[in-house]
Every structure is written in C-alpha cells, then in structure tokens.
Amino acid sequence: MAFIDWSSKIAVNVTEIDKQHKKLVDIVNELYSAMTGGKGAAVMGKVLTELIDYTKYHFATEEKMIVQYKYSDNNTHKSEHDKLTKQVLDLKKQFDEGKMVVTVEVMNFLKNWLGEHILNKDKLLAAFLNQKGIT
C-alpha cells in the first residue's frame, strides 16, 4: 500500500511537472515501504539523498519554466523552493548525525511537504503555464 497515492487531485496538468512529481511521490513511498517493513533506518540515508537530488532537479525545471514564461510570482515560488530544500537538507543532516529515525511524523512531514507545495504553489504555476499553452 502506497503512503501517497497519485491522483488527479495532485496532478497539475503539465506533463513534465507531473512526471517529476510522480517520481518524488515514488521516492517518499519507497521510504514509507522500507519503514513499514522495518528497514527504514537502512535506506533512510540513501532515500533522503535521492530525494534531495531529485528535488533540486525538479525545482530547477520549474524555475526554468518560471523564467522562460515570465511567471509573475517567481520570487515567492523560488523562496518556497529554497525553504523546502533547506528542510529536507536539515532532515538529512539530523539523520547523518544520528538524531533522527524514520517515524510516522517524518513520513507525515514529507507527505505534507510535497502535497502542500503541489496544491498551494505548483497548481498556480501550472494554471499559468496552461494559459501559455504548456501542457
């Protein structure tokens, strides 16, 4: 059973962004699966590193679109990306220092981190891109 189910509710209807969001959901679900199987600690470092790397890649894609299509809310969206990246980097640092284990609270943080950004920021960006003919 997936921790986060991909659905039309979180799809933004921009193919490239949705593809990348699905990958981020898969990464979080991989960690959840490991946690529920008692292997969370064994894969946490690897999965957090993958999440950080892919998040940076994904945010760069969005930021390129923001500049290319002159999205008016670019500074706010970029600030949100910076904040989210810092939060995941902080999680990884805590894990590396032995100060954090995979818990339901960590999983809920990641679920909310991803879901809230998609629903509150990326949906707005996608609507703008859709108006520009980007699907």
Which helix (H) or strand (E) covers residue 26, if one does? Answer: helix 15-36
Question: What is the pTM for the complete model shown?
Answer: 0.90
**What is the architecture of the domain spanning 15-131?**
Up-down Bundle (1.20)
Instruction: Please tell me the predicted confidence (pLDDT) of residue 51.
Output: 87
pLDDT at 107: 84
135 neighbors 53 (Cβ within 8 angstroms): no
What CA–CA distances, in Å, run from 80 to 74, 120, 123? 10, 10, 14
Distance of CA 2 to the CA centre of its chain: 16
pLDDT at 65: 96
**Helix, strand, or coil here: 78?**
helix
Average pLDDT by consecutive 10-residue portion of the chain (135 residues)? 89 96 93 84 83 93 95 89 89 84 79 88 95 95
Every domain of the chain and the residues it spans? 15-131
